[in-house]
Amino acid sequence: MITIVFATNNLNKIKEVQALLPDNFLIKRLQDIHCLEELPETQNTIEGNSAQKAQYVAQKYHVNCFSEDTGLEIEALNGAPGVDSAFYGGDRDADKNMDKVLLEMKNIKNRAAQFKTVITLILDGKQHQFTGIFNGSIGLEKKGKYGFGYDPIFVLPDGRHLAELLLDEKSKISHRAKATQQLIDFLENTTIR
């Protein structure tokens, strides 16, 4: 059994990652190691924030762990909201964030966008990063009742909004799924217990 701490308080992210893990993986949440504080996210890149959170938990709690940071990058907005995705509308309110994006994109034809997830693993004091990219575009409106974050305005190449996919389908194709699969492959080829 491979036991590792997922350095996040986001239950939606935990659910998505757990759905991908084989049976020989046991994920511990932050509360399982009595980490109840808000993790620092003060870096100016997705990679930096991901690393900062993992390093904080590994150093303070002396555990092997991984963290992730995800951002929506929109071509016409020069990569925004990017690292600021969670607070783009002023706070952690998904509807405010989406409303701001839709307003900024109102008269823009180029709607190309991508989700980017960076997972940072701290294993025996060494850092490893895994990146998942998911290409799509920004829709004209919110659509769908599943998922979270920007999923209702993110349109897949086949025209469906990401929030129209059930978790099991999203788990096979998303940015987080791609990064998580790289993490799983790495851990399965590394001896830890």
Residues 54 and 127: beta-carbon distance below 8 Å: yes
Q: Say what percent of the chain tops pLDDT 70.
A: 98
Task: Answer whether residue 191 shows pLDDT above 80.
Answer: no
What is d(CA 68, CA 180) in angstroms, rounded to the nearest whole number?
A: 9
Distances (CA, A) of 44 to 81, 85, 123: 12, 12, 24
What is d(CA 146, CA 48) in angstroms, rounded to the nearest whole number?
A: 29
Under the banding of pLDDT at 50, 70 and 90, the label for residue 168 is confident
Q: Give the model confidence (pLDDT) of 77-104 as tens digits.
A: 999 999 999 999 998 899 999 999 999 9
Q: Can you list the alpha helix ranges (DSSP code H) found in the chain?
A: 11-20, 46-61, 94-104, 167-173, 175-188
Residues 101 and 138: beta-carbon distance below 8 Å: yes
Q: Give the model confidence (pLDDT) of 118-148 as tens digits.
A: 999 999 999 999 999 999 999 999 999 998 9
Q: Are strands 65-74 and 2-6 parallel, antiparallel or unpaired?
A: parallel
Under the banding of pLDDT at 50, 70 and 90, the label for residue 192 is low
Active-site residue 168, yes or no?
no
Under the banding of pLDDT at 50, 70 and 90, the label for residue 193 is very low
Among 23, 32, 69, 95, the one annotated catalytic: 69
Under the banding of pLDDT at 50, 70 and 90, the label for residue 67 is very high
Which residue has 């511990």 as its token pair? 28
At residue 162, the pLDDT reads: 96
Q: CB neighbours (10 Å) of residue 173? A: 12
Under the banding of pLDDT at 50, 70 and 90, the label for residue 16 is confident
Check residues 24 and 111 and name the one with the higher pLDDT: 111
At residue 33, the pLDDT reads: 95
Domains and CATH numbers, the chain: 2-188 (3.90.950.10)
